[in-house]
């Protein structure tokens, strides 16, 4: 695959190209808390029950927005409004005019580098079904990039 992300804007990408930008880190699937007063977003180490934590991919990607009503389908149109997206997210990086990270599979040629770099949630997260929702503040982490 060519380096299409360098020659096309996000809204010019084909569906296949758009989907290939996901690096498989799983960080967007982390449960996030927002401070009602400041608007600050805090990431937890708790992930959506649909996330396959070994592969860091959604276990039911096609039906995710039906099964998880607050799941957000990322598009070029709504990306600018999603300030909670992780700083190292490929979509966010490109939207902000930055390059893809060295560990991104499209750059490295390997889907393993996202995990090897420590950028993924693999081995760091717990499923939301194993956590009391009232205890989410105890799960705030600072390792999200």
Q: What is the DSSP string of 84-99?
A: TS-TT-HHHHHHTTPP
Range of the domain at 71: 4-139
Residues 6+ apart with CB under 8 A from 59: 50, 51, 52
Residue 145 maps to a domain? no
Residue 84 maps to a domain? yes
Domain count, the chain: 1
C-alpha separations of 47 from 17, 91, 95, 104, 121 in Å? 26, 20, 25, 21, 9
Supply the pTM of this predicted model. Answer: 0.90
51 pairs with which residues across the strands?
58
pLDDT at 2: 83
Task: List, for residues 42-91, the tens digit of each pLDDT value.
Answer: 999 999 999 999 999 999 999 999 999 999 999 999 998 888 899 999 99
Q: What is the enclosing helix (H) or strand (E) of 127?
A: strand 126-127
């Amino acid at each position: 695959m060519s380096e299409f992300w360098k020659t096309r804007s996000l809204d010019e990408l084909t569906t296949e190209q758009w989907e290939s930008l996901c690096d498989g880190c799983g960080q967007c699937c982390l449960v996030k808390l927002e401070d009602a007063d400041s608007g600050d977003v805090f990431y937890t180490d708790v992930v959506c029950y649909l996330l396959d934590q070994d592969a860091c991919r959604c276990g039911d990607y096609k039906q995710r927005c039906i099964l998880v009503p607050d799941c957000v389908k990322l598009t070029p149109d709504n990306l600018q409004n999603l300030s909670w997206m992780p700083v190292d997210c490929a979509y966010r990086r490109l939207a902000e005019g930055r390059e893809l990270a060295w560990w991104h599979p499209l750059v490295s040629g390997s889907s393993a580098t996202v995990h090897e770099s420590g950028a993924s949630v693999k081995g760091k997260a717990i499923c939301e079904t194993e956590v009391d929702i009232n205890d989410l503040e105890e799960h705030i982490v600072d390792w999200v990039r």
